[in-house]
Amino acid sequence: MSSYMSMFTEVIFGFFALFLITKLLGKTQISQITPFDFISALLLGELVGNALFDPNAGIPEIAFVVALYAILMYIIEIVSQKYKRTRHLLEGSPTIIIHRGKLVRDMMKKTKLDINQLQHLLREKDVFSISEVEFAVLEANGTVSVLKKTDYQTPTRKDLKLSPQDVTLPITLINDGEIIQDNMEEKNLPLSWLEESIHEQGYKDVSEIFYAEYIKGSPLYIVPFFNRNHKKYTDYD
């Protein structure tokens, strides 16, 4: 039993230690993971995993491994910010793989990117034909940034010579049948207004609402738990 308790405390400690590291390193380190970050994360997981199942290793050893990893990553982050020449080595650099509508085969070969992989990455950007692309850049994190040819670009309001409109951010007022009070207070919306808006769309109570979204100047957008025929919203017939 003592071994299970020891593993329990070590797992809890390791979990919160790794969680703290991700918070300290910032969101961009997670969303823009480079090959170096990927390898170092695997190494950290292996070290922590081995420490958990090593009878001679406890919380001090796990703390040492996690702290050492955090210090090394922090040093690398500082070095890459202070010395620009190290960024190419530590973080990688973007590579142009389509230039003026033509594939740059030398760069594709250098980055070990074949045509099937390129097509997959382009489809993730809603591009289903290479002929639509003017420029494509392979980023350091393995994603592709695409600039379409003008014939395939979506026209903007400026292109259509339309007057600009105010941009408003939608805000969630109800989530899973519960009112988000902080969002209501932020927009200075009274509860009476919310209840009235719900009643206008044929619902009796907040408990019937799975999700409600507010945009200034637009009717309240509502997704109910059940539709008007009292079928589950997951039913298709």
Please report the pLDDT score of residue 222 as a whole number: 93
Q: Is residue 200 part of a domain?
A: yes
Whether residues 207 and 177 share a domain: the answer is: yes
Please report the pLDDT score of residue 123 as a whole number: 94
Average pLDDT over residues 139-143: 81
pLDDT at 150 over 80: yes
The DSSP element (H or E) to which 102 belongs, if any, is strand 102-103
Whether residues 80 and 144 share a domain: the answer is: no
Query: What does the block give as tokens for 200?
Result: 């206008």
Please report the pLDDT score of residue 209 as a whole number: 92
Whether residues 140 and 214 share a domain: the answer is: no
Whether residues 83 and 99 share a domain: the answer is: no
Domain that holds residue 182: 171-224
Domain count, the chain: 3
Whether residues 138 and 64 share a domain: the answer is: no
Q: Is residue 231 part of a domain?
A: no
CA–CA separation, 125 vs 138, rounded Å? 13
DSSP H helix total and E strand total for the chain: 9, 8
Whether residues 8 and 82 share a domain: the answer is: yes
Q: Is residue 201 part of a domain?
A: yes
Whether residues 84 and 99 share a domain: the answer is: no
pLDDT: which is higher, 3 or 132: 132
Q: List the CATH number of the domain containing 199.
A: 3.30.240.20
Q: CA dist 233 to 208, 225, 226, Å?
A: 11, 6, 5
pLDDT at 231 over 50: no
- Percentage of residues in the chain having pLDDT higher than 90: 33
Out of 58-62, 84-88, 209-213, least confident range: 84-88
Please report the pLDDT score of residue 120 as a whole number: 92
Contacts of range 188-195, beta carbons closer than 8 Å, 24 or more positions apart = 189/214, 194/220
| Highest mean pLDDT: which range of 41-45, 141-145, 207-211 | 207-211
237 pLDDT tier (thresholds 50, 70, 90) = very low
